[in-house]
Chains A and B, each alone.
Chain A
Amino acid sequence: MKPFTRKGGVATLVGTLGAVALPAMVRAAEDAPPSLDELQTLVPGLQVTLDNMFVLVATVLVVFMHAGFVLVEAGLTRAKNAGNIVMKNLINFSIGAVAFFAVGFAIAFGGDFDGIGAYIGGGGWFVGDGAFAYGNLTPFTFFIFQAAFAATAATIVSGAMAERTKFGGYVAYALIMTAVIYPIVVRWQWGGGWLYQLSTPFHDFAGSTIVHLCGGVAAFAAARALGPRLGRYGADGKPRAIPGHSIPFAIVGCFILLVGWFGFNAGSQLGADPVIGRIATTTLVAAGAGAVMAAMVTRLQSGKTDVAMTGNGLLAGLVGITAGCYAVSTIGALIIGLVSGVIVVFAVNFFDKIKVDDPVGAISVHGVCGAFGTIAVGLFSNEESEGFVAKGLFYGGGTDQLVSQIIGVVSVAAFVFVVSTVMFAVIKATVGLRVSEQEEREGLDVHEHGSPGYGSDRAMA
């Protein structure tokens, strides 16, 4: 996202459309194909309309990803907490929409980019006067796309906090995340801040770091602050699996996320440009590769192909390619997906071992693979665009981009980890973070929300 050169985009697109939409007008008038200038005078506003339309459609796809998160997180947790986990996703999205509308968007994109403005913005509060707009997009089209992203970054964390978090504590977190923490991270890059101002700008096209690493690191801080679920570790200290209650839910959720991700990545072009086809291709290839590798690794580890982990592999590939979906070669995308699918399995095992209980694998999928995918841009970038992205190490570009990628990953991870750790400590000391032991054993549905997610109408419920 953020400033880039639209390499031949308009020319190609209008050229293509000309053949379809304007045959009579143009072709009848003269035999020679019309020049770009001629076409643009014939279709004033067409590109503006297309850009706004495409980004709004992409926004709807990103919003739909929340349905995917609902199903993945509900499916991978127990039935007695089903109402609570979907409520967390619902309230998270809703708070995110309002908080990002009121202040988040202004912090991320408002005001000057110099001095303090390189770190935190301000201006265009409530998407009012001075609201930032990008390219051909109206401020509203640009805002709503960004708002859908903000809610995504926040909802990543709910999975890692599942089955043991006080609802009030979660609400406090969701508000701070979407109003302040995520917008500051966005400011650094897409908002034109200091990461974007590096001599070789940090490159994160759709948010492996800005969205996913940010959410993944906050998830890590949350899971650490909460401690593992009761029964997650045996008396011998060994991890004991707590299987989710609906694998079909989880996998339908993965498919919905895949569908939404095409809006997430291709929409980050912020315009209707033919390059969206290639962005969608890198996205698809990485997703498939991630799932295949995760399936194979689990098979080699335990002799069985683990369904939930294969779903995580699909998401790992998607997270991995999100930074480089525009810049990396298609072969690079394949490699990023394959590696992400391997990394995610070992990351899940690792966090199990160090007793950070993440019921859905959010830290591994979004945090670890987000960091990997971002750094991989410094290796596999095959694009060269002044002030946007340089070629990667494997494509003759040297280490400039790689260094910028590492700076971006480390600074975002450190910032989010420190701020989130403080935030969760404060929430713990005030509204409280973890439910009582009795509530955790009986399920959060009835205790936090009054009725079970399933079955209040059964005869003997």
Chain B
Amino acid sequence: MTVEPNWHTFFFLLFAGLACAFAVAVVITSNIVRMALYLIMSLGATSGLFFLAGADFVGAMQLLIYVGGTLVLLIFGVMLTAQGPFISMKTSGGDWIVAFLLSGCLLALLIPAAFSVPDWRGRGASRADASAADLVQHDTATRLGMGLLGARVDRLEERPEHLKGGMSGYLLPFEIVSVHLLVVLIGAAYLARTKRRASNARQLG
């Protein structure tokens, strides 16, 4: 008699294995172009994990902003600087030994900590059907957008009466992040500018 596989667990193991394997591959390889490719695969698999956790909007944003934006930026950096000796820069053996010792200690600390909280062990399969009614999946895009605008539609009852008016939303961080992005874009454009005139002046002088 075969046990019906839990498909959520199956896809979790698939995406988790991909994400972890490519993350480790980023560390192990010394070729910068391959590192960029493995990073793309790892972050794409991470977006699959987000979808499995019920965060559809965050998973889509992971694909759009991270894989489609940030990593394209990184690949442009790789293409602009990957010349001759910079494509493959080997790390010395002593550095690897220290790094793997440190990472082993950190993993030995983090993984038992992850399994030490009983509430985090997952929903039992036998009781999943009984409580399936209160686990209706709402799409999160609308609720996230309202939260960014300052209205938390998911916890309208919990808010104390005198705080009604959007105090528990994320409007102020949203505005700060938007101004921060503008400043960062101006700063990046200023920093990455070619300073040909200064070097020419130095050569002439």
Is B one of A's binding partners? no
